A and B are shown apart, each in its own frame.
Chain A
């Protein structure tokens, strides 16, 4: 009796299902090849770029290059002011955009009620992430350089940093929200059931778990921010600076602007300097990303 049903169901199965394993594995392989090609193309392009830059730039990389101010003479020119400007700006941008972005993200994700106003804010923030950076430059020029000149000092590190901070704010907000959203609700419920307030739950349980994601998003946004040229040129960052900034209201330049300046000169010696500058900028970015990974691992290790 039992055997018979078993036979029957076997018989039914081959009639009803066509497992077509060969075809499915075939599709598997096609996808493997397609994705592999995608990664190879991007890696090859990147490698060609890197090799090209390194061939031109590495011979120019030396201690003098890092510790000299720009000069009309390519033999003496260096990027000290640009490197220091980039570091100043990076710190200021992080100090402004991290608390603002994370705060806004927490509010929108955890506190905001679902009404038309908050939805409008949300849509706008998502759209802001896609606005071309030059528009932020125009905004920065009008608001920070002109309107708030007494405070920012005009074409200063502060104006530049605020502009870049605005530019990357939407990215930080969105990644904060994503990170918070990925924490299971059961933890929130557990907290509430013990008589915790919203803030106690967020601070003690949600935030520590979300921090790795928030940091990853923030550092990616910062890396994008320090590579930006257009908005800084718009607000009028200088291209030739032979002094170090003294405070946030000092005039400044940054690595991408210095590189841009060297590239646009006719003499080929300056083009090699630009290549060396690109290597320095990439090292700065890599250090930042490494920092992000270390921070993230440190927070993730807890449990």
Chain B
């Protein structure tokens, strides 16, 4: 794989087109610039880790990719984000349709207070799934490595599962809509080490079919699961606001072994701040 860099964006390979591409993206909350000039390319069937100190804008950028930021009234996105070559912030793009192609898993497991079955069926149903629902539910749960644990209690409440199981249910729910990209915002931060490991293994399985962006504060996790890593940092402005930016984006090995920037080096080795 050829790796080269331009001044504006870290383009990691030119052998294929990126699925998602951010070009000089600025995000504002109200009048405050929260993240500035983020440019990066995300390639198919890879796992990309977003790392960086708290408040540097990892979640903010992540939410731009499926336009969840639209739901924050004060949020404003400038610059360009393309999904398979098309600008996702163009007026004719329907965020509802976009979100069915780019799924999301949240920090805190948030299954619907309904049965396990209904949790997965909902997304498929609203997106007009025409196939066999029972089969889809079994497949999704198998892909999320949850089937064996719940196959006898599909009618039970999703809330009756453990935290780790709930998170895998949320992943199954996202998969059932057949997205191309899955965004995960600290999906393991509320889980015990064993559940975390299960989800990490799951991510390795899933990347054969999906492109995954995962935000994590866990350096080992980033180095274990990801192919590429983006390191974000924040700098303070004169009036005390913090503005996040992308420091370095490269394949994970480079980021962890021989990063270009000193800040990255310090952060990944735990000598940051």
Stretch at the interface among A192-200, A220-228, A236-244: A192-200
Chain A's closest residue to B70 (CB) is: A192
CB-CB contacts below 8 Å: A103-147 with B: 113-114
Stretch at the interface among A16-24, A53-61, A167-175, A183-191: A183-191
B122 to chain A, nearest CB (A): 6
The complex places the Cα of A113 from the Cα of B66 at a distance, in Å, of 22
CB-CB contacts below 8 Å: B84-133 with A: 96-101, 103-104, 106, 108, 110-115, 122-123, 126-127
The complex places the Cα of A186 from the Cα of B174 at a distance, in Å, of 15
A195→B99 contact, CB < 8 A = yes
Q: How many residues of B contact A (CB 8 A)?
A: 30
The complex places the Cα of A273 from the Cα of B127 at a distance, in Å, of 63
B231 to chain A, nearest CB (A): 25
A206 to chain B, nearest CB (A): 10
Chain B's closest residue to A186 (CB) is: B110
The complex places the Cα of A184 from the Cα of B114 at a distance, in Å, of 15
Quick one: CB contact mask for B41-84 with A, threshold 8 Å, 1 for yes?
00000000000000000000000001010010100000000000
B110→A303 contact, CB < 8 A = no
Contacts of A302 in B (CB 8 A): 114
B173 at the interface (CB under 8 A from A): yes
B177 at the interface (CB under 8 A from A): yes
Chain A's closest residue to B177 (CB) is: A194
The complex places the Cα of A114 from the Cα of B30 at a distance, in Å, of 14
A119 to chain B, nearest CB (A): 14
With A187-B112, A189-B71 known as contacts, the answer to whether A196 contacts B157 (CB < 8 A) is no
B170 at the interface (CB under 8 A from A): yes
**A190 interface neighbour in B97, B110, B115, Cβ under 8 Å:** B110
**A187 interface neighbour in B103, B110, B123, Cβ under 8 Å:** B110
A37 to chain B, nearest CB (A): 40
B154 at the interface (CB under 8 A from A): no
The complex places the Cα of A120 from the Cα of B126 at a distance, in Å, of 35
B117 to chain A, nearest CB (A): 13
A194→B99 contact, CB < 8 A = yes
B99→A204 contact, CB < 8 A = no
Interface centre among A114, A186, A190 (most CB of B within 10 A): A190
Contacts of B173 in A (CB 8 A): 190, 194
Chain B's closest residue to A205 (CB) is: B112
A209 at the interface (CB under 8 A from B): yes
A114→B73 contact, CB < 8 A = yes
The complex places the Cα of A166 from the Cα of B177 at a distance, in Å, of 44
**B113 interface neighbour in A192, A196, A209, Cβ under 8 Å:** A209
With A195-B127, A196-B96, A303-B157 known as contacts, the answer to whether A204 contacts B110 (CB < 8 A) is no
A301 to chain B, nearest CB (A): 11
Additional 18 contacts, C-beta under 8 A, given A113-B73, A193-B106: A186-B110, A187-B112, A189-B68, A190-B173, A192-B68, A193-B99, A194-B122, A194-B123, A194-B127, A195-B97, A195-B98, A195-B100, A196-B126, A197-B126, A205-B112, A303-B113, A303-B114, A303-B115
Instruction: Provide 6 A-B residue pairs closer than 8 Å at the C-beta atoms, listed in order of the A residue.
Output: A113-B73, A189-B68, A190-B112, A195-B127, A200-B126, A204-B126
Instruction: Give chain B's interface residues, CB within 8 Å of chain A.
Output: 66, 68, 71, 73, 96-101, 103-104, 106, 108, 110-115, 122-123, 126-127, 157, 159, 170, 173-174, 177
